[in-house]
Structure 1
Amino acid sequence: MQAVRFADILDITVISVLLYFSLIWLRQRASRSLVMGIGCVILLYICAQRLDMYLTSWLFRAGFTALLLTLVIVFQSDIRRAIERFAVWSEFHTKRTSIASSQTTGTLIEAVRKLAENKIGALLVIKGKEPLDRHIRGGVSLNGRISFPLIYGLFNTESPTHDGAVIIEGEKIDRFAVYLPLSQHVKEGGEAGTRHAAGIGISEVSDAFVIIVSEERGTISVAEQGRLEVLSSAAMLTDRINRFYNYIQPEKKAKKRFSWLRRNFGAKALSLLLTIALWMFFAYRAETIHRTFMVPIEWRNLPENFIIDNPKPLEARVSMSGTERNFNFDPNIMVISFDLGMVHDGIQDIPVVEKNLVNKPSGLTINQIDPRNIKLRAFAMTEVELPIKVKMDGNLPENVRLTAVTVEPEKIKVMVPKSRKEDFTVIHTDPINMYEITQSSVLKIKATLPESVRLSRDNPGIVRVKIDVKATSGKK
């Protein structure tokens, strides 16, 4: 088996974490039919990829963006909550949520027991780690310490605010007469009352713990993570509240080594196994493949007083081998580069080796580079001053006679190969069409440089040509 890279382990870890949270969300939020539907879609996609089902694969590609947008719209509240939970998790070590003392908890339970005994409806929300402001409406700020008379008085049927909810944070009642979002899953409550629907609703969109007292039956119910449970007695409420507080602030002595691993171990193991299977199915390819690329050749650090005479070839053929995943790169970033800082005058035979290949992908083997050697001719340049000769093409019109041709400047500075200095005696201009000259004119003409000749620095290579003509009298 081919060695697994660190990037592969990181890849599997990231997908496993995402898959784990997806499984937890599906277990808490989604119906069985939705889970089966998603599973069928994934299975169909795998079959389309492995069996080369062209039309089905095209449909998946075409509809992926629309499907992704639809999922974002449908599950926007869950996505927002996931982001909020991540923000809360990142701040957990710097800001801890306060909890009530055992004495205050006892006072709260006694007040709830008394409300249930007298069949007085009540709705109490104990804040968890996540913020509630986005989900609640209205309410009156209180910030009062929890006491039996205060709780009993807030839910007294004669009070105008008794139908609202109370928000509890730590030792105090933060707000009362608060309106909560209603759940669409009222069947979870059995009693299908508005108070129960509101209690389930806030527990669906946050990690709050909700206590609900029914004014019809006098029962005590708790809502957590979108699930409602009717308690047989007020004594059971003590254990449930303590468990919730332990979730907010786990006791150090209660923490066990690797407890994070044992929590939801089945979902974590399934996520890891599924990710490894998907990685083996799609990403891992043990067979070695060969591919060839045409890579451009570049020259760098060429001294200013040197030129390369018509370098060839301009590309090299590079053959590589490796696994399919190693070829997942942009071949346009590769280049074969030569450092000509130590170039000398004349013909040079430069070997092409692997170190000349810049931006070579990791994990690939270079089998061959063709050509193996590159021949180039370098010229050491020297500056000379050569006369300008105007090149004239064609004849003047019949009624026009040329009197003088002058050029300014008369000479131009150029760089020529030092070894061929004597071969260059004159620089011509671009040809001038003399048939178009009907009167004396001044033209700006570009100098035509022979091969291997370069203009000196700051020399535009433009000369000023003055053509003087005189009209002649022709016979009618």
Structure 2
Amino acid sequence: MLADYAEILERALTSLRLADVLDVIVVAVFLYGMISWLRHSASRGVITAICIFVVLYAAARVLQMYMTELLLRSLLAVVVVGAIVVFAADIRRFVDRIGTWRLFGGKARPLETEPVIAVITEAAFRMADQKTGALIAIRGREPWERCIDGGIEMDGRPSLPLVYSLFNPTSPGHDGAMLIEGDRITRFGAHLPLSTNLAAVGRRGTRHTAAIGLSEQCDALVVVVSEERGTVMIAEGGMLKPVESATELKSALSAFSRQHQPQRSTSVVDWWRKPSVQTAALALGVAVAAWFLQVKGSPTVARTLVAPLEFRNLQSQWFIDPSTPTEVRLTLRGPEQAFRLMDPGSVVVSLDMSRLKPGDNQFNIAADNVALPRALTLTQAEPTKVDVHATKLAPIDVRVRVKTTGKLPSGLELIEAAPKPDRVELLSPADNASIELVWTEPVDLAGITSSTTVKTRLVLPKNTRLSDGKNPEVSIRIQVRPRRP
């Protein structure tokens, strides 16, 4: 069994392409975003239901449970639409999170350390002792502008007197939230979104509902002081947690600061303990495992298809005999998954005509003539050789003559039927150099009642074409007049 897996691994590595590496990276990044989203999602019950649906569908396909697979496939559209409706807010937040991923430096201002934490901790418990209500929102990395309304802009360094004055019952903005970004108070009296999660809110008041609401829509941490109970709580990730002491609050704020502004550490253990590193490792592992299982579960097969024959670098002065084959039957070999990803209509056999010579030319059909995915190989072509008879054409200038049929209605006579252009340049084989004129398709005069202009095509001699390669069409000016008695 180990030998089988070793063989599969060897086959996978030998057929590894740059596209496969990029494929794994893209899937890993997507999984990283999804896992990070799921960790903070408030709709985990619905997520569990969707996961069960996916597992059932996969099991139905593997076990060939056709009726179950048909039923689940029929419900797929309903599930997708339902998921979009249920996760509308979460999807919007996920898109906002993508905007915060910074590849080339630049960071949001997270909570500063000791000075600001000390002010928030002492102010919160002093106001709790005095039963003064307060709502302090601390920004993480995600944008929160769309979640917050109103308030008064400011730019001040947090201090005990400033915090007390902002939440003083006589202050005009004491019922709103104070916003902290980095080491600055940027707004006070702001209105936060209210949570609809009744289970998390319970019987608590508006401040607690607003604290949970903001923490559901972004990664902010909110400290809320109850003026009725004189208690301190923190809201993070849509969850409300009571804080029993100043030491506990300080620890929570310090952990929040470390999470959103990680400290440099030379310890591999500390680096591994970071949630983002563990999430990235899990996403990469799942992506690699999925790719490996796909290779393992994709047996080597051979398939035959008919591909059109195209001539590249064929100059306009060459004429190819119509008896030349236009299709080639190809037998390809490779993983079944590669055939699924390949568009059969994109497979073309190309022959390079840059060295074409008059008369008979023979071209071998080889792998170089067919653009295939790297995982597929050409094992057979039918025919293996293509004979191309080519004739070199020379330009000749010929007159255009109009061919008419039928008769004009009684009482009318034809003055002229003048073609435009009246001369064209043809590309013709050397043995057709005696051609002096070319006729148009017949123009029926029976339907002509007045002078008019009609369009018709040229009837080109065999093995000739217009030198400009355009459609052989001309305009004919037909002039008539009443017949003289």
Q: Distance in 2 between matches of 1:121 and 1:417?
A: 98
Q: Is the partner of 2:94 in helix, strand or coil?
A: helix
Greater CA deviation, 159-168 or 452-461? Answer: 452-461
Counterpart of 2:308 in structure 1: which amino acid?
Answer: P
Q: Is the 8 A contact 1:136 1:181 kept in 2?
A: yes
Q: Is the partner of 2:53 in helix, strand or coil?
A: helix
Cα pair distance change 1:114/1:92, threshold 3 Å: farther
Residue 297 of structure 1 pairs with residue 309 of structure 2: yes
TM-score by length of 1: 0.77
Aligned to 1:340: 353
Alignment of 1:293-332 (within 5 A): 293-327=305-339, 328-332=341-345
Cα pair distance change 1:121/1:10, threshold 3 Å: same
Counterpart of 2:365 in structure 1: which amino acid?
Answer: V
Match of 1:194 among 206, 211, 227: 206
Counterpart of 1:72 in structure 2: which amino acid?
Answer: I
Alignment of 1:140-155 (within 5 A): 140-155=152-167
Aligned to 2:136: 124
Q: Is the partner of 2:150 in helix, strand or coil?
A: strand
Match of 1:352 among 361, 365, 379: 365
Aligned to 1:402: none
Alignment of 1:428-447 (within 5 A): none
Q: Distance in 2 between matches of 1:143 and 1:410?
A: 83
Q: Distance in 2 between matches of 1:77 and 1:455?
A: 63
Aligned to 1:263: 274
Q: Is the 8 A contact 1:182 1:197 kept in 2?
A: yes
TM-score by length of 2: 0.76
Greater CA deviation, 218-227 or 102-111? Answer: 102-111
Aligned residues: 454
Q: Distance in 1 between matches of 2:167 and 2:98?
A: 35
Task: Kindly state the Cα deviation for residue 123 of structure 1 after the two structures are TM-superposed.
Answer: 1.6
Task: Kindly state the Cα deviation for residue 46 of structure 1 after the two structures are TM-superposed.
Answer: 0.3
Cα pair distance change 1:124/1:427, threshold 3 Å: closer
Task: Kindly state the Cα deviation for residue 320 of structure 1 after the two structures are TM-superposed.
Answer: 0.9
Q: Is the partner of 1:166 in helix, strand or coil?
A: strand
Alignment of 1:72-87 (within 5 A): 72-87=84-99
Q: Is the partner of 1:131 in helix, strand or coil?
A: coil
Task: Kindly state the Cα deviation for residue 435 of structure 1 after the two structures are TM-superposed.
Answer: 12
Q: Give 1 or 2 for the bigger CA radius of gyration.
A: 1
Q: Distance in 1 between matches of 2:326 and 2:100?
A: 58
Q: Distance in 1 between matches of 2:444 and 2:44?
A: 91
Cα pair distance change 1:219/1:334, threshold 3 Å: same
Q: Is the partner of 2:323 in helix, strand or coil?
A: coil
Q: Distance in 2 between matches of 1:227 and 1:383?
A: 84
Residue 22 of structure 1 pairs with residue 38 of structure 2: no
Q: Distance in 2 between matches of 1:95 and 1:434?
A: 79
Counterpart of 1:133 in structure 2: which amino acid?
Answer: E
Cα pair distance change 1:293/1:436, threshold 3 Å: same
Residue 238 of structure 1 pairs with residue 250 of structure 2: yes
Stretches of structure 1 that go unaligned for 5 or more consecutive residues are 397-406, 438-442, 467-476
Task: Kindly state the Cα deviation for residue 383 of structure 1 after the two structures are TM-superposed.
Answer: 6.1
Q: Is the partner of 1:134 in helix, strand or coil?
A: helix
Aligned to 1:248: 260
Cα pair distance change 1:367/1:416, threshold 3 Å: same
Aligned to 1:135: 147
Q: Distance in 1 between matches of 2:130 and 2:444?
A: 118
Aligned to 1:470: none
Counterpart of 2:355 in structure 1: which amino acid?
Answer: M
Aligned to 1:45: 57
Cα pair distance change 1:42/1:280, threshold 3 Å: farther
**1:179-213 alpha-carbon deviations (Å, 9 max, x no partner):** 22222335436662222222222122222222122
Q: Is the 8 A contact 1:427 1:448 kept in 2?
A: no
Q: Is the 8 A contact 1:347 1:375 kept in 2?
A: yes
Q: Is the partner of 1:310 in helix, strand or coil?
A: coil
Aligned to 2:101: 89
Cα pair distance change 1:347/1:82, threshold 3 Å: closer
Q: Distance in 1 between matches of 2:87 and 2:325?
A: 58
Aligned to 1:3: 12
Sequence identity percentage: 34
Root-mean-square deviation (CA, aligned residues, Å) is 4.5
Counterpart of 1:122 in structure 2: which amino acid?
Answer: A
Task: Kindly state the Cα deviation for residue 97 of structure 1 after the two structures are TM-superposed.
Answer: 0.5
Aligned to 1:205: 217
